Structure 1
Amino acid sequence: LQTLDSLWKEHLAAMDYLRQGIHLRGYAQKDPKQEYKRESFSMFAAMLESLKYEVISTLSKVQVRMPEEVEELEQQRRM
């Protein structure tokens, strides 16, 4: 969830940056609204790919332990 939150904040900041400069596309004879839609979709897809990568990376590092191992580790920490 922390990864999603972080990537979402970055995405919103990037979208704001895109929104601020999209009007310049009109000088290049391009429809700013269509360009905004195209680029924002591309940015969203990139964010989803980053999310997939980060989640898979995090989950691959998870260590599942048996209840006995957890109790043993807790006892060691108390000492």
Structure 2
Amino acid sequence: MEPLRGSPEIEYPTIWSYTLIGWREKDMRAAVHEYMGDDAAYKLTFSHFSRKGTYISLHLEIEVESEAERNATYVDLKAMPAIRLVM
């Protein structure tokens, strides 16, 4: 088996999943809803609490049209005060 080289080939549009980590679920959900808007199709689900209960993670699934849109969404989510980390 040969190791992968370079970037994987991603066909767009595609459903992309982001893991969001923050402190308060309510604040995270509100920030995502404000960013996505009322008419956007997205799925935001609870993932889990950290061992000590300090952090919470949510999964966000959205359809992205291009790599540029995927990367811009990552940057925008990462800039939100309610979200500590985006993966």
* TM-score relative to the length of structure 1: 0.28
Q: Which has the higher helix share?
A: 1
Please identify the structure whose Cα radius of gyration is greater: 1
TM-score by length of structure 2 reads 0.26
The structure that is strand-richer by fraction is 2
Bigger relative CO (Cα 8 Å, ≥ 6 apart): 2
